Structures are given as structure tokens and as C-alpha cells.
Structure 1
Amino acid sequence: MKTLALHEIGEVIRKVRKDRGLRLEDLADENISPATVSNIERGVAHVSPEKISYLLEKLDLPMHKLPEMLVQEQEELKKVKFKLLTIATLRKTGFIDEALDLLEELNLEESHPYIAHAYYFKAKCYMGKRKWKQAERALYNALRISQQNPYKENNMEAASYLLLGLISYYRNDIEQALEFTNNGIEAFVEDGENRHIKALLYRNKGVYLQRTGRITEGIQLVHEIWEQIPLMDDIGTALGFYWLRSEFSRLSGLLDEAIEIATEGIEISRRNKQYDSMCDLWTVLGSVYTAKKEWDLAETSFKMALKLEGKFPEDQRLTTVYTRLGILYMKQGRNENAYGALEKAIKYAEKFNDTSRLSTSLIMMGDLCQIIDKTDEAISHYQKALEIAQKQGYKEKEFKAWFSLARCFDGKDEQEFQNCMRNMYNVKKEFNRKEVEFLEESI
């Protein structure tokens, strides 16, 4: 028997046992254990054909009747799959409570072939309501079941890791997000179902690498998957790679390449009305032109990104647009415009609890306040950024905040100045310790 045939036979045996109200233990005897019965139901390949035949005899299930029973079982599974499709559509279109009600009505047992899918969709519903703990519990259940199931081709394990990574990202734990995503990539079955999961895993990994400043790793990842982009069935995911490549090109100084990729991506997103991707790509373009000191093109690019506000659900990306626009205005000496842009950046970052972007925006606002001689306000912004950086472990931003505070106190409050310098030293010492540990581990 092939693995798939074993899986299907196991589904029939499980259904017959459940219909008769029998437990695993009720079918066990001196010849077959409850664990073996469970393995047969789950389609574990190493179970001997003799054990399967023995169990079929105990249940009075002749082998010649199995094809007919398999057809019946598959028809019932199709109905469940249809309901899951309905649930997924309701969730995607914003009817989350209705989707959750339908999931409860399904009331699938823990041994049902689609129970991991049910937990997965429940997690997506809770994520839509930003109920991270409930979503996490549902995903750990999906993960547990999919890891126990020898039939890996549905890629539910990889999909569960994908969403766990997203939850960690929304909680500002980028390192944990990377770990979950790498687990998902490792668990992905190439010839299995839900092949779009692989592209999502790689795209998300690229985003996390960008957020942690790992430019070389990010460039390598994007180049590895670039030729597969035309084969992706989701245009939003494909455009995510256009944004990643243009952003990594910008960060590595390949400005002309960044312009070429971003422009191509904007054309694709415009034709397909992908407004969120269009916003991202115009933002990259604005940042590139800022680096090239082409101020008019930079401002036009950022304003094009902001014209898309309201075309997609509000999220953290608007923080980036307003922060980079504020930086542009600061470089031009347009301080009043810069102040207004950075105020909006801080507002959006606070709204979405985006601590990484919030700390950056606060530091930039502090720098601006120093320029316009609002030292007390600058100190307040730096202290808020420092508190976030210390709480979240953003060492580079903590160092920057201490340095900026030292600049505020220099020549005005010697004690505070020395305190800032001491803390800068302590942060730098922590950097050096980690560098030594890295070198020792790489020997």
C-alpha cells in the first residue's frame, strides 16, 4: 500500500470507529495496541499490512467495500472543505465574527483530517481582531496536530509557522519572527499543497531581515527567488519582492538599480490596483531620490505615496512615509514642514504600537527640535525614544538616544552630560561583548 492509500484507509477506519462510539482502547488487544490503531488511522507508513488487515477484520470491514466507503468519506470531506472555503472568504471580506461562528458550528473532532485547517483559520480570524494570544493558542494547536500527522503534503505546519512569525512581528519581536519563519521554510514540502506558502515565508523573511538591517542576507534571499516571481499566483506577494529588492538595493547604495526595480513595480501595482504595494514602492523611490539629493523628485514620490492613503487599510507603512518625508524637509531646511510630517509619523506609530518606527520617529523629531532651538522638547522626545529602545532591546537606537541627550546637555549640565557618556560607554561595551562572542562562535 502506498502512503496516500494508507492515509485514506485510515480516514475510513477512524470514521467507522467514531460512528460506532468506540475508543482506540476498545479496538486494542494482545495483537494490536491503541498506539498502532492510532497510527493506522493517521496513515503512518511503517505500520505492517498484517496489522491493517487485522484491524479491518475486527471492524468487519471487507477490503472490497473500502473503495465505496472511501468515496463516501471523500464526499463528506469535500463538504467540510467547502465550509472552510466559505469561512476563509468571510474572514477575508471582513465578516470575522460570522466566520468564527461557522468554525464553532463545524465542531470538528481532534482526529478529523481538517482539524488543523480549522485551527489555522480560527487563528487568522483572531489575528484580524488583533487578539494575539487567542490566535497563538489556535496556531500551536494547528502546529501540534500537523506535526503528529505523517501526511505533511498539506503544508499546514509551514503555514502555522508563517502566522506565528507574523504575530511575533506585530509584537515587535523580530528575532522570534525570523526563527518561526525559518522553521516554516524548513518544514515546507515542495511538492505539497498550498504552494503559495513558500513565497509568503520568503517574503516575510525578507521583511524581517530588512527591519534588522541584515542587508547582505536580504539581497541573497531576494536573488534566490527572483526568477520564481512570474510564477507566483498572488500579485501582492510578487510585488512584495519588488519592494524588497528596491529597498535592499537602496540600502546597499545601488541607487539606479533601486529606481529601475521600484519603477517597474509601480507600473505593475498600478495596472493591478495594488495600492498598498504602490505606496511602498513610491516611498522607496522617494528615499532613493533623497539620497541622490534630487529634492523635487523625492518630494513628489512621497506625496504620491500619501495620495494613496485611504485606498487601503491604515497600517504602519504610513509612519515610514511621513518619517522619510520629514527627513527630506530637514535636509532642505524646511523645518516647519518637517515638524508636521514627523508629528504625523509619531501619531501613526503610536496608533499601531510600532515601537521600532516610533523610536526612530521620536529621535528624528528630537534632532529637529535641537535644530530649531527647542532643547527641552528635544530632550523629551529623546527620553521617550530611550525608554522604548531599552524596553525592546534596540541597542543601536539606545546608543543614538544617549548620544543625542549628551549633545543636549553638553555645556549646560555637566552631571547629566557625564551620565549620558557613561551610558553610551555601557551600551558600546555590550556591542563589543556580542561581537567577541560572535567571533568566538565562528572560529
Structure 2
Amino acid sequence: MGKNTNSIFVTAELGEMFKNERRVRKLSQLELSDEIGLANSTISKIEKGVCKTNKIYLEKLCSYYGLSIDELLVHYTTQPVIDKADTLLQLMAIEYDIDLTDLDQGMEELRQMEEYSKLDGVLEEYLLVPFPCYLKGKFYEKKRKWSSALEQYGTAVQLISSSMRNADEENLKSACLNGMARVCLRRNNLDEALSYVNNGIEAFNPDGKRHHIQYNLWINKAIILERLNRDVEALLLVESVCEKGSTSIRSSDAWLNLLLIRIELLNKLGRYDEAIHYVQEGLFLARVDGLYDHAFDLWSSLGESYAQKGLMVNAELCYQSALKLEGRIKRKHLAIKTHTHLGIVYCECGKLKLGQSTLVKAVKLAREYKDVQRLVKALVSLSQSLVMLNKDMDAYKHLEEARTIAKEYKFETLLFDILLNMSDICKRWKLVDYQEITEEFQEISVHLLKGGRALMMHQIETIRRVSISDPPND
């Protein structure tokens, strides 16, 4: 089938020329649309350029502006030849935009590139088809549009799997599976997350590129295992990876990701002195390399170690040191748990009003960043501080909100703690809710006990502890 001669490619330069002609005449796109009978959306598309349009539309514009369409097409429609290397370079630049500079601009550049590349079939080649899907997956993941992210990552995986090529040189399949695991982790679908991350580890090509993805897969697997309360298994995995990667991990960021998870697992398992040792190692590296997010996490973890050891003055200093970095960190939601735990420490030290105000800030931040799990924890801690200040009814209101959220998101162990506190207030004040709360508390207790008393007590104990780090992005 021959090419459609009525379809003309509009370059960015030609589109800009048409835009300038309109502006010289001081017309809006809508006014021009009325003048020449061309849809406003068509005018907008032509002026943006990097698109195909019907020749008739260009003739209408040229006729109105008094221009020769033949002369314009000679000067403006020559298309540069784009080979595979150039296209890969563009995709790499777009990935940088999505990760580091302007998320929305990166997506717009990808859209324009796809439109342009359709003309010579460049995107039909292996890798160049799944790569845009991978980038769209990253875009939607950062936008917290989980379903769209899963769809794009999944499409990329299918395209790579069905390719005639046996080796995935860019390790895009592993990267996409890791992205799918992260999304499932965010949605608390832990079994699915573990399945995806295991598939990503299996698909990884050690002779390919993006070596850091292998470490991110291991890190994410450890995080998922921890969320599944398989703490010892998670720690053994991290220790094994640390031993393997002590000489091969070239990125301080990757090494500190591993170290931080090791520290948090040691804290969770009650091995506080070991955790403190590794924090000191990590803080030195974070300071030397200027890694603010990691420094924030490490100071917070050190505060947790000292708090669990009962050294509240040390814990207070560590949390305060972390919060001095709050203005420099990119992942602003990290500050929620640090404010929460500092507020608890203040209350433990008898600084009740200071503790309450700090916990109020934690709640405010959790609402701002829509972090429901940390919001529930902050609300529970705030309610406990209010009880200490003899403000039981204010505390009860916060517990009611926490209860609603915990039930909606199935935070069962948190719900146990909430109902325990609510029943205590109900009993003291002879509230009408007492019977309902007591029955609900008994139901959740029985449900948790089905998993075994040891597991239940382990879960209850970890309610008040810091959750393990967020998964690293690729």
C-alpha cells in the first residue's frame, strides 16, 4: 500500500511558524478557528508540531496567511534520519527527565517522540517498543496511578518475553517486574509483590546493563519479607547481599539502602547494639557523599535503637538531628515517622505539651502526603499523649478516625492497638460504645490468634516500631 499523499508531517519549526503568523495578527486560536472554519484542536496540534495532519488543513492556513504551501513544505518538512542509537539516546534523556528533572515534561517528550518515530518505523525494532512502556510505567508510578503503572510495566514485560531475542541486554524485564513489585507493595498486596520480585531476580541478565537493578530487587525482596513478618529470612538475605556486594557495589546510595534495611531489621529483632554499630558506619558515608535522605533515615534509625534501649536523651538528640535535615530531603513523607517517634520520646520524658505539638505536626504531615498507615500510627500516638494530659475525649476522637482508616485498609494489628485504647477510655467514662468496641476487640483478637499466639504477639510488639524503609526506585 502506498503512502497517503494527503498526510503531511508538521515539524516543530513549521508549527512555530504558523503560531507566529497567528500572533502577528493578534488572533487567539479560537478566533482563527472561527475565521477559517478549522477546529481549534487541529490548529493547536499543528502549532505544537511533531505531528501528522491532513494537507487540506495546511492549505487553509496558508491561504489565510497568504503563504505558498509548496515553498513551506520544501523548507520545513525535511525529516532527519533517526537511527537506533539516536533513538536510544532520546529515550535515555527522557528517562532522566522523568527521574530527575521534570516528570510531566518527560512524558510530553515521550509522546512527541512516539508520534515522530511512527513515520519511519524505528519503534518497531526490539527494545524500542517496550522501552516507552517501561518509561510510562515509571511515570504513572510516580504519579501514584497504580493501575496504569501496572498495565504499562506488564505490557513491557509481555513484549520482551515474546521477542525473538533471548537476552534482555538492558534488563528492562527485571526493571519492570521490580516496578510491579513496588506498586503491589504500596497497595499492600504482599504475596503478589513477592512473586513479581522473585520473577525479576530470575529474569536478571548478569551480562546485561543496569546492574543496580539486581540490588534493588534484593532490597525490595527483603522489605516484602519484613512486611510478611519473615524478619530472620529478610535479615539473612540482606547480610548475604552485603557480603556479596561489599566489593562490587559501586554506588554509595545502593550500599546505604542495603545497610539501612539491615539496621532496621536488627532494631526490629532487638539487636540494638549491632544496629548502632552499622548506623555509625552509614552516617559517615552519608555525610561524606552528601546523601541527605539516607542521613535522615540513619539518624531516625539510631534514635529508634536508643529509644528501645531506654536511653531517651540519646534518642531525642538523634531524632532532632534527623529533623534538622528535613528541609533538604526529597522524600518529605519520611519526616512523618520521625516526628511521631520524637513526640513519643518527649512524652516518655515528661514533656507532654511538646510531645503533643510534635505529634500534631506528624498527623498534619501524614494527611498532607496521604500516607494512611503513618497517619494511623500518628493518630494513635497523639491520642495516647492526650490521655496523659487528661484529655480523654479529644483522644477518643482521634482514635475513632484511626479506627475507620485501619478498618478500611485492613491494618489489623494497628486496629488491635486502637480498640485496646478505645475500650480503656470507654470503660473509664462509661461510654455507650463500650460494648460495641469490646466485641470488636474480641473479634480482632481471635482473628489474630488464628495465626498463632507467637505471631500475634510479634505483630503487636512491632506496631510501635518503625516500619522498614520504602523501596528504592530504579
User: TM-score when scaled to structure 1?
Assistant: 0.77
Partner of 1:186: 202
User: Bigger relative contact order, structure 1 or 2, given CA contacts below 8 A and separation 6+?
Assistant: 2
Match for 1:94 among 101, 119, 132?
101
Please state if 1:177 is matched with 2:184. no
Quote the offset at 1:359 in angstroms: 1.1
Change in Cα spacing, 1:148 to 1:229, as seen in structure 2 (3 Å) is: farther
Change in Cα spacing, 1:209 to 1:322, as seen in structure 2 (3 Å) is: farther
CA deviations 1:128-152 (Å, max 9, x no partner) are 3334343333212112212222534
Runs of 5+ unmatched residues, structure 1: 1-16, 20-74, 439-443
Please state if 1:112 is matched with 2:128. no
Partner of 1:83: 90
Partner of 1:195: 211
Aligned residue runs from structure 1 range 151-166, under 5 A: 151=165, 152-153=167-168, 154-166=170-182
Please state if 1:382 is matched with 2:399. yes
Please state if 1:337 is matched with 2:337. no
Quote the offset at 1:414 in angstroms: 6.3
CA deviations 1:65-121 (Å, max 9, x no partner) are xxxxxxxxxx92211111111112222332223322221233256743121111111
Contact 2:292 2:328 in 1 (8 A): yes
Match for 2:386 among 369, 376, 392?
369
User: TM-score when scaled to structure 2?
Assistant: 0.72
Please state if 1:220 is matched with 2:233. no
Aligned residue runs from structure 1 range 127-142, under 5 A: 127-142=141-156
Quote the offset at 1:177 in angstroms: 3.2
Residue identity matched to 1:203: I
Runs of 5+ unmatched residues, structure 2: 4-81, 456-474
Partner of 2:289: 272
Match for 2:251 among 217, 227, 234?
234
Residues of 2 paired with 1:352 and 1:187: CA distance? 34
Residues of 2 paired with 1:348 and 1:214: CA distance? 30
Residues of 2 paired with 1:187 and 1:384: CA distance? 44
Residues of 2 paired with 1:380 and 1:176: CA distance? 35
Please state if 1:244 is matched with 2:261. yes
Quote the offset at 1:225 in angstroms: 0.3
Residue identity matched to 2:260: W
Residues of 2 paired with 1:398 and 1:96: CA distance? 37
Tell me which moved more, 292-301 or 108-117.
108-117
CA deviations 1:374-422 (Å, max 9, x no partner) are 1111111111111111111111111111111110011432653232221
Contact 1:161 1:184 in 2 (8 A): yes
Tell me which moved more, 359-368 or 89-98.
89-98
SS in 1 for 2:310: coil
CA deviations 1:276-303 (Å, max 9, x no partner) are 0000000001111112222222111111
Quote the offset at 1:174 in angstroms: 4.5
Change in Cα spacing, 1:268 to 1:88, as seen in structure 2 (3 Å) is: same
Residues of 2 paired with 1:435 and 1:236: CA distance? 38
Please state if 1:149 is matched with 2:156. no
Residues of 1 paired with 2:219 and 2:392: CA distance? 41
Residues of 2 paired with 1:245 and 1:167: CA distance? 22
State the Cα RMSD in Å. 2.5
Quote the offset at 1:265 in angstroms: 0.4
Contact 1:246 1:262 in 2 (8 A): yes
Contact 1:203 1:237 in 2 (8 A): no
Contact 1:172 1:356 in 2 (8 A): no
Quote the offset at 1:252 in angstroms: 1.2
Contact 1:172 1:354 in 2 (8 A): no
Partner of 2:437: 420
Contact 1:410 1:417 in 2 (8 A): yes
Tell me which moved more, 359-368 or 425-434.
425-434
